[in-house]
Structure 1
Amino acid sequence: MADSQPLLICEHCDTVYRRRELCCGEIARCLRCDAILERHHRLGVGAMFALVVTAMLVFVQANVWPIVTLGLSGQMISTTLWGAIVMMWREHSQIVSMLAAATLFFFPLGKMLLLGWVLFFAQQGRRAPGFRLAMVALYRLGPWTMSEVFVLGALVAIVKARVYFEVILNPGIFAYAALTLLITVFASIDLRRLWELVPERSA
């Protein structure tokens, strides 16, 4: 019976352990390097998929709605995220605009699409086509979704801008704040569980 238990390998020191089901609040740590091996998660595949769909809807709203409106001498100017990116490009800040577009739009969008693709098939108890490549891509994209950095930077900029402009917060900034919370939940989910939840079927 012990030989049939799945294995758990520490990503930092390659120590191999026998995996067991964790209770609520439990965290498995490596005995050699004290790295976190696994956390207990309450969310099942269906709940994770619903979370991805919610994040996609909020993501669309965050990119369609204006972020902030600035007023000066009776003139009001509002912009979306893409409006700010295009403005930076036109002001000869191409590198900054490309980094903003990648980390605030393309990388988060790619992560949500890949995760939704994998979870859609996982709900049916099978692996999605290209499952291995999708899981590797999700692992690589993880550190590059920086919506939370954008929200913090935008809030700091808004506080400073209030000295010179009339500042009105638009729905886009609140949508990005909600998206940040959802991405934080994503970050706490150990996607490696999907390897065991949807085992590869033998031909």
Structure 2
Amino acid sequence: MQPLDLHPSRIICEHCDSLYEASALQAGQSAYCVRCGAVLDRGHRLSIEQLLALTVAAAIMFVFANVFPVISISLQGLTNEVTLWGSVQALAQGRITLIALVVGLAIILAPALQIALLFWVLAHAHRGKIAPGFKACMRALEHLRPWSMLEVCLLGILVAIIKLAGMLDVHAGVGLWAMAMLMVLILLIAGKDIRRLWDELEVGRP
């Protein structure tokens, strides 16, 4: 669900269906529904160029998060490291293969698709053009947002590090720091602000 624009100067609250006159907001300003308190709109803090640059940075962090180990464990001279993909493979080697599929979707496939779709629509928007398949891409981004669970994975890894620290020599790897940065970047780029492209590119909402 998202606020629906019946007219360029009107907006409907996505929670209680109250109708309001839309108004221009400055960076940092927000408009709230008087009836239910939901956020109707926010002032755009980042330009299209900045969003595109952050998307490129997110792609680099995604590569780092999947190439470098997220955690390393040492015990009596023996060391073992694991990457995000390695953790998915480990889960798949047992009776919880379905869990491995869900984890792979949430921490690898969903973020990768988000980054690819964001780069596609923002690269064209940077040139003042509407990306081919724009509506399908924007709808896909809305559906992918709940499936991207990097923050849940990050929290789980931090809990594991704390619990294992008393028994083993545990170190956070480069992949873990890259994943933390990737999580922040995706939250900045793929949030509700990306919906502004509908209006800025003058594309009719589906």
TM-score (norm 2): 0.89
Task: Report the 3-state secondary structure (helix = DSSP H, G, I; strand = E; otherwise coil) of the residue aligned with 1:38.
Answer: strand
Counterpart for residue 150 of structure 1: 153
**1:68 touches 1:169 (CA, 8 Å); kept in 2?**
yes
RMSD of aligned residue pairs (Cα, Å)? 1.7
**1:41 touches 1:189 (CA, 8 Å); kept in 2?**
no
Alignment of 1:135 with 2:138, yes or no, is: yes
Letter in structure 1 aligned against 2:87 = A
TM-score (norm 1): 0.91
Alignment of 1:20 with 2:28, yes or no, is: no
Counterpart for residue 52 of structure 1: 55
Q: Aligned to 2:40, which of 28, 37, 48? A: 37
**2:71 touches 2:176 (CA, 8 Å); kept in 1?**
yes
1:15-61: per-residue Cα shift (whole Å, max 9, x none)? 33222111233211122322111111221111111111110110011
Counterpart for residue 166 of structure 2: 163
Q: Percent identity?
A: 38
Mapping of residues 29-108 of structure 1, within 5 Å: 29-108=32-111
Counterpart for residue 125 of structure 1: 128
Between stretches 117-126 and 18-27, larger displacement belongs to 18-27
Q: Aligned to 1:196, which of 192, 196, 199? A: 199
Q: Which runs of 5+ in 2 are unaligned?
A: 1-6
1:108-143: per-residue Cα shift (whole Å, max 9, x none)? 111111111111111111211111111111111112
**2:59 touches 2:115 (CA, 8 Å); kept in 1?**
yes
- The separation in 2 between residues aligned to 1:108 and 1:182, in whole angstroms, is 11
Count residues in correspondence.
Answer: 198
Q: Which runs of 5+ in 1 are unaligned?
A: none
Between stretches 160-169 and 97-106, larger displacement belongs to 160-169
Task: Report the 3-state secondary structure (helix = DSSP H, G, I; strand = E; otherwise coil) of the residue aligned with 1:91.
Answer: coil
**1:5 touches 1:18 (CA, 8 Å); kept in 2?**
no
Counterpart for residue 180 of structure 2: 177
